[in-house]
Structure 1
Amino acid sequence: MIYTDRQFQITRTELAKLEAALAGIPSKQDWVQKAQYDALQSQVSDLQADMAEYEMLKLGKVAFAETCSLRELPRVLVQARIARGFSQTDLADRLNMKPQQVQRYEATNYMSASLSRLIEVASILSVKVSESFEAAHNETSGAIFAWHNAEDVSWSRLPIKEMVKRGWLSVAPNESPIVAVRNFFVQAAGPQFATALHRKKVRAGNVPNEFALLAWQARVLHVARRLQEANPMKTFELNDTWLGELTRLTRQKDGPTQARELLAEKGITLVVERHLPGTYLDGAAMLSASSQPVIALTLRYDRLDNFWFVLFHEVGHVFLHLMQGLRFDFFDEENGDKTDRIELEADDFALNTLIPATAWEQCLSRFVLTEEAVLTDADNLGISASIIAGRIRKERNDFTLLTRLVGQDSVRKQLETKDGT
């Protein structure tokens, strides 16, 4: 890589020499001359690429990555300096050090720079760093995302094209897409949702794309706000006496529709929004700007058993975590980590609210895996047969069982509309 104008001129001189040497090799070559020609041509190509990158950075014709991984940081810092029009001396002046020190930093890929110095250089050059942590056992159990403030978000990394395609966002002819997506988020969710006050806790088998997650959350909160404005809601109260009524709705053919209405009566907004690629979501629970609970479902699996379990899991987050001072937004993949204490609490809430532990122990269908046994137990418990069938399939890890009872393709047609409301 070329670091300075002087190095650029030296490279140009060296390139001219190599090109002259190439011209001196005859067109008819033996194998030795062919090897020499190929080696020289490779060097020429490398130098030409370095010079082209430097010229484009100097002229502002190419963007450098403003958000990078730690591994890429040294190179990006050099690219950023050049693109900003700073010489090594200019950067040294801003760092209150001699130019020779900046030269040493860049010549050694900043290996001799302290963490505080790297932070200082990155701040001067407006470079943001993004890195993830994976545990030593390499088994992903989820992630936590947080930004210090909205200005730390690399808005260009949100899935703008997909957001436009889905009708979430419109970009005027002369408007910057990055400005448009930032304005959308601030208007839909508020800048506080991209801060450490709203850390994103993700339960997933795969680490999701945090920018797709942020975009999806903005859409959910946008739809929730519209629903709340159209039908003003009561303030949510931490009172679970109505959960039995919600459980009984599982027996109704239009149970999902009635469930959304009941939740609204109790101060909880239910939004259905398909997940974005890279998010691996089934459901989420969060607080709106007005501190009203919002539950969002993707209906990734359009089945009654999945709908009811995910819904009650998110209701569990509302009662156990959202309203108890644990300031996280919860994003869940149903088959995510099985050891996370917070998620296990929400799982237990869902399982025991739908079927109390003592009642589950007495269910004959746990052992007699027939539709008749499931239907009998469902009648005795006063719940949908899909809930029992789904629980049996999950506990036995056999999703070929009882397929006619899980309510395939029964939810989306009730709850999903073109505009998410």
Structure 2
Amino acid sequence: MIYSDKQYGVASARLNELRDAVAAAKARETDQAWLKQAEIAGIKSQIADIEAELAEYDLLKSGQVSFSKTYALEELPRVLVQARIASGMSQTDLAEKLGMKPQQVQRYEASDYMGASLGRLIEISKALGVKASGSFEGPKQAGGSVFAWGDADDIVWGQLPYREMIKRKWFDMPRGANPVERVKEYFLRAAGPQFATALHRKKMHSGNAPNEYALLAWQARVLEKARGKIEAQKIGRFDVDDRWMPQLVELTKRKDGPKRACELLARKGIVLIVERHLPGSYLDGAAMLADGGTPVVGLTLRHDRLDNFWFVLMHELGHVFLHLFDGLRFDFFDEEDGSDGDTIEAEADRFALDALIPSDLWDQCLSRFALSEEAVKIDAETIGIDPSIIAGRIRKERGNYTILNDLIGLGQVRAQLEEAGDDLD
């Protein structure tokens, strides 16, 4: 982990060296191609690690994360460093606040606080706002939450909502079996232990405090269903190229648009899974990578409306094209009405809005002021989209969810996806 601006500079310089090394290795002629490829792969692995550390430092320092939680006691040193950076404090600032020399804070962090007494750890935790549960709540409340486990052994399996999972028949519960052991077996089979590690941190954009174990369980179910489609060879090859998005927007005009959207995404290498949210998750959609790097978009249809379906789908696709492959190593979970102020989520929102209604066309929509169904339909016909999209955007921008109710496509999504064969249990 990067602890300071100085280390950030060193890491950046090292990153450039490694990139140069990759270029040199590619240009070098050799008779042993396999050895050359192995060398390049090894260097790229180092590059990915450094890029992830730089991205995390940037994210923390920008104030885009206001909450982080971990469960293993040995992860406490990392949480303390996260809290310091997210609070905008340097090592010197923290030392001054504690009345000690900056060199002492540097030694503490460099040694993962191994030399610190319990009393000192408590003092530092209080100074940084870190709670005994292993979390921090920074001063910049940006509506972002991050959940991370060191590894699968850190999970308290009994906190997974196994009763609800059994009720939904996600796994069998033989008479006399231990439900905690069964839910652990299910998660490891459905998602895999790697999805409960720092390589798959959960970033939640929400206006509510989510239950992180509900997120984890829901993700396992989505990945299980996605793997079934991938193994059945129903998913094409994915390229990070969004030039086909107009084809998706064109489908909004069709009555069976959501069903056809599933089919189009599959051809483009993206798995779309619909799975009801679990209690306490306040979830509308998510974007993640399955094993092998296939993008997976999960939707809950918590609000069974056309306007919600299209916006949330486009928002998650924004994460796919803008963030999933940029080294942040986040699985993104979203509540449609999450808090503002998060740069990453704002980028995904802008991607969705521009894909559905380009800004220049939105400026020309008279229905924004007329607020009549007739005006909305005229604008929708002019732009070439379903009226629900315009109606939904007007309602959201005005903060008035009592208008244009007959145009938002209430109850028109879940039924057709069920008909398409998606298991929406």
Q: Which amino acid aligns with 1:387?
A: I
- Find the residue that maps to 1:342 and give its secondary structure: helix
TM-score (norm 1): 0.68
Tell me how far 1:227 sits from its aligned partner. Answer: 1.7
Matched, 1:419 2:423: yes
What percent identity do the matched residue pairs reach? 60
**What's 1:332 paired with?**
334
Distance 1:284 1:277 in 2: 16
Q: Does 1:114 align with 2:124?
A: no
2: distance between equivalents of 1:348 and 1:419?
31
1:226 to 219, 225, 228: 228
DSSP 3-state at the match of 2:135: coil
With 301-310 and 173-182 compared, the bigger mean Cα shift is at 173-182
In structure 1, the gaps of 5 or more residues are 1-66, 71-112, 120-128
Question: Of 167, 181, 203, which residue of structure 2 is paired with 1:179?
Answer: 181
Q: Secondary structure at the match of 1:286?
A: strand
Looking at structure 2, the residues matched to 397 and 226 of structure 1 have their Cα atoms a distance apart, in angstroms, of 40
Distance apart, 1:68 and its partner CA: 8.5
- Give unpaired runs (5+ residues) of structure 2: 1-69, 74-115, 123-131
For residues 9-408 of structure 1, what are the structure 2 equivalents within 5 Å? 114-115=117-118, 130-136=133-139, 141-408=143-410
Cα separation, 2, equivalents of 1:69 and 1:261: 42
Instruction: Report the Cα distance in structure 1 between the residues aligned to 2:326 and 2:148, rounded to whole angstroms.
Output: 20
User: Quick one: higher RCO (CA 8 Å, sep 6+), 1 or 2?
Assistant: 2
Aligned-partner Cα distance in 2 for 1:293–1:223: 13
Q: Is the 8 A contact 1:247 1:383 kept in 2?
A: yes
> Contact 2:146–2:201 at 8 Å: present in 1 too?
yes
8 Å CA contact 1:208–1:278 kept in 2: the answer is yes
Would you say the 8 A contact 2:274–2:424 is kept in 1? yes
Work out the CA distance in 2 between the residues paired with 1:356 and 1:116: 57
Q: Select between 232-241 and 287-296 the one with higher mean Cα deviation.
A: 232-241
Deviation at 1:419, TM superposition (A): 3.3
Cα displacement (A) at 1:239: 1.2
Q: Deviations over 1:286-330 (max 9, x none)?
A: 000121000000001100001000000000000000122221000
Instruction: Find the residue that maps to 1:276 and give its secondary structure.
Output: coil
- Work out whether residues 378 and 384 of structure 1, in 8 Å CA contact, stay in contact via their aligned partners in 2: yes
Give the structure-2-normalised TM-score.
0.68
| 116 and 247 in structure 1: CA distance in 2 versus 1, 3 angstrom threshold | farther
- 8 A Cα contact 2:222 2:273, kept in partner: yes
**Distance of 1:69 and 1:194 partners within structure 2:** 12
Residue 10 of structure 2 corresponds to none
In structure 1, distance between residues paired with 2:209 and 2:360: 36
Equivalent residues of 1:69, 1:130 under 8 A apart? no
Instruction: Report if the CA contact (8 A) 1:142-1:206 is conserved.
Output: no
Residue in 2 aligned with 1:51?
A: none
1:388 & 1:68 partners in 2: Cα distance? 44
Instruction: Say how many residue pairs are matched.
Output: 304
Deviation at 1:143, TM superposition (A): 1.0
The Cα RMSD (Å) is 2.4
1:250·1:383 contact (CA, 8 Å) conserved in 2? yes
Deviations 1:324-348 (A, max 9, x none): 2221000000111211000000000
Q: Is the 8 A contact 1:159 1:212 kept in 2?
A: yes
* Superposition deviation, residue 117 in structure 1: 11
Q: Matches of 1:282 and 1:232 in 2, distance apart?
A: 24
